[in-house]
Structure 1
Amino acid sequence: MSAVFLDPPSGPSTPVPPSSPLARTIILHGFPDTCASMYDLASALSSDPQLRHHCFTPHLPGYAPSTIPPSSSSPITLNMLVLALASYISSLSPSLSHLPLHLIGHDWGSVIAQAYAIKFPSTLSSLTLIAIPLNFLHTTALTCPRQLYLSRYMARFQSPDAGAELMRSDDPAHPHALQQLVSSWSPDLSAKRRDKLLASVREAFSSIEVRENALNYYRHLVALNSPLLQSLLLLSRPLLKLMGSLWLVEKAVYLLLLPAVLFLRLHPLDLRLEDIDARALPHKRILLIGGRNDGCAHAELFNAINKSSTGPTVKLLDGAGHWALLEKPKEVARLIAKHAT
């Protein structure tokens, strides 16, 4: 089985490519999101007369019905996503193949972009990572212990009913409703942009298959889904429900196991996130963009990278959170444009 990247169908909100492009740019979205959130950035890069980037904003595998792998297939791995991206790039118009290639990733798109850059560094002219910095999981405990608390959602997403909880009505008291998640990750995001983002995600996640495949990024790649743990939780559900403490007990179990899985590396992957080594990347071609108010990836993770004089370029934006590209669209586009020239 191979993962599939797919461009969305052309429509009024799809960026219009320039008539004579100077570069190819691929923008990868993350979670919980869709490629629609990348359109404004793509339009800014493609409409600039000095840049004239031909931008591509594909769905991540599993985020559209046509990209969902057969149920009998093996789980998607990070290495498979990297190879799928390489295949997608090679399938782009041959008339553009001579142009420089710029890769931009947000959230999970950042993780995939990092892994691609390690495997195929010579193919890239520049790499821009938004919201998720280098070595995200590997450096958390050393540089920012608070990140463990911020990453608790990864543990909860292992639950078989995580998808249903995510799509429940947006009750502010419910810790896993989509609106609460987005609001806590990007507190500075305007209500208009937040509602537009949520509408796009709700439409995509209305498909159970899409929703489960999106959550499988956390289940299979972060590898908290121990079969033994899942079996114990499922078998204990009747007893826990009688005790009236299912949510509390289950959450406690996940939170206790999260440090072990992330930092003791109990579950091997074919290309583990913690094996992404910043030293393998061409630093001069890397731009990291983060928001100081990000409730998903703490700003201190970017500050730790920024302390290195030989590291990549790091830009932390005030008044921005996880979706800096939506909160500060002009500033993010300007930073990428400068970096990509």
Structure 2
Amino acid sequence: MATQLINGLAVEITGEGDAVLCIHGLGGSSNVWTPIAGALQAFQRIAPDLPGSARSALAAAPLSIESLVETMAALLQRLELPSVHVVAHSLGTIVAQHLAVAYPQLVRSLALFGPLVAPPEAGRPGIRARAALARQGAVAMQEIADAIVRGATSQETQAERPAVLAAVRELIMRQSGEGYAQSCEALAAAQSAALEAIAVPVLLVTGDQDGVAPAANVEAMARRIGDAAVVVLPGCGHWTTLEQPQRCAQELARFYARLR
């Protein structure tokens, strides 16, 4: 595995074969994909830290879904990749949907974990409030991390998987306050992509205790897409690849087997 700095992004590139672009979510990094790396062994895995997240520099202009889409398209152009499979989590799933609509020639399939079309209107003020809190610094980021561990992981994870709680907490706490704040603001302003225009196979995976991407919302999302399969994982919250890595890897492997 080698990390390259490309257009200000820290990008992990490993393996050979068809390329898979892995887009993490809010407060994430390329390490969101480490637990399911086995399912991607037959591929070239391209896993960037998004602008302002983890090891990547914050862009000069404020972050938005549109800017993140353009960043991903520019990365693929720089790597001279004509098309890729896309795997994404949470905020990254919104970016992936817009990428598939804006650049259909680039996207061969979508595997979306904890998928959402856009935040509900009632949830947008809370996301903006979290951005303001993040700008208060390290102590505030710890407060945010603790709240996410409590609210976005399943009861089973909290009772039985302390290492997962530590991993989620560490992911959030390693973010810069400004980078995290701008990512929050991009999410708060996100609008739905034209899902009906997505013409590639889609896998939608959520947890039965995922309050960000409830199963009913994911089912409704699937109905707007022509070729979409939904999987609901038991005992799982929003951090699907960390909470249920074996099941996520299995579902991803089955999905790619069907595409061959």
TM-score by length of 1: 0.64
SS of structure 1 residue aligned to 2:191: helix
Matched, 1:331 2:247: yes
Cα contact 2:85–2:107 (8 A) shared by 1: yes
State the match for 1:38 in structure 2.
Answer: 33
Change (3 A) 1:336 1:116: same
State the match for 1:157 in structure 2.
Answer: 130
State the match for 2:50 in structure 1.
Answer: 60
- Given candidates 223, 229, 246, the residue that maps to 1:313 is 229
Structure with greater strand share of residues: 2
- Given candidates 26, 30, 38, the residue that maps to 2:21 is 26
Cα contact 2:27–2:53 (8 A) shared by 1: no
State the match for 1:201 in structure 2.
Answer: 172
Cα contact 2:207–2:232 (8 A) shared by 1: yes
Shift in Å, 1:87: 1.1
What are the residue-to-residue correspondences of 1:269-280 with 2, within 5 Å? 273-280=190-197
Matched, 1:288 2:260: no
Shift in Å, 1:60: 0.4
CA–CA separation in structure 1 for the residues paired with 2:148 and 2:17: 38
State the match for 1:136 in structure 2.
Answer: 118
CA–CA separation in structure 1 for the residues paired with 2:250 and 2:27: 25
Cα-to-partner distance string for 1:42-85 (whole Å, 9 max, x where unaligned):
34311xxxxx111111100111455223xxx4312322211111
CA–CA separation in structure 2 for the residues paired with 1:337 and 1:32: 26
CA–CA separation in structure 2 for the residues paired with 1:26 and 1:292: 26
Which of the pair has more CA radius of gyration?
1
Aligned-partner residue type, residue 317 of structure 1: L
CA–CA separation in structure 1 for the residues paired with 2:230 and 2:37: 21
Change (3 A) 1:42 1:153: farther
State the match for 1:268 in structure 2.
Answer: none
Aligned-partner residue type, residue 134 of structure 2: A
State the match for 1:241 in structure 2.
Answer: none
CA–CA separation in structure 2 for the residues paired with 1:169 and 1:104: 27
Shift in Å, 1:32: 2.1
Change (3 A) 1:127 1:65: closer
State the match for 1:236 in structure 2.
Answer: none
CA–CA separation in structure 2 for the residues paired with 1:182 and 1:38: 18
State the match for 2:4 in structure 1.
Answer: none
Same amino acid, percent of matched pairs = 21
Aligned-partner residue type, residue 23 of structure 2: L
Cα contact 2:115–2:213 (8 A) shared by 1: yes
Matched, 1:182 2:99: no
What are the ranges of 5 or more consecutive residues in structure 1 without an aligned counterpart?
A: 9-14, 47-51, 142-147, 171-175, 224-272
Cα contact 1:325–1:332 (8 A) shared by 2: yes
Change (3 A) 1:65 1:313: closer
State the match for 1:49 in structure 2.
Answer: none
SS of structure 1 residue aligned to 2:25: coil
Change (3 A) 1:162 1:64: closer
State the match for 1:6 in structure 2.
Answer: 10
Change (3 A) 1:305 1:63: closer
Change (3 A) 1:127 1:4: farther
Change (3 A) 1:117 1:75: same
Cα contact 1:28–1:60 (8 A) shared by 2: yes
TM-score by length of 2: 0.82
CA–CA separation in structure 2 for the residues paired with 1:221 and 1:103: 19
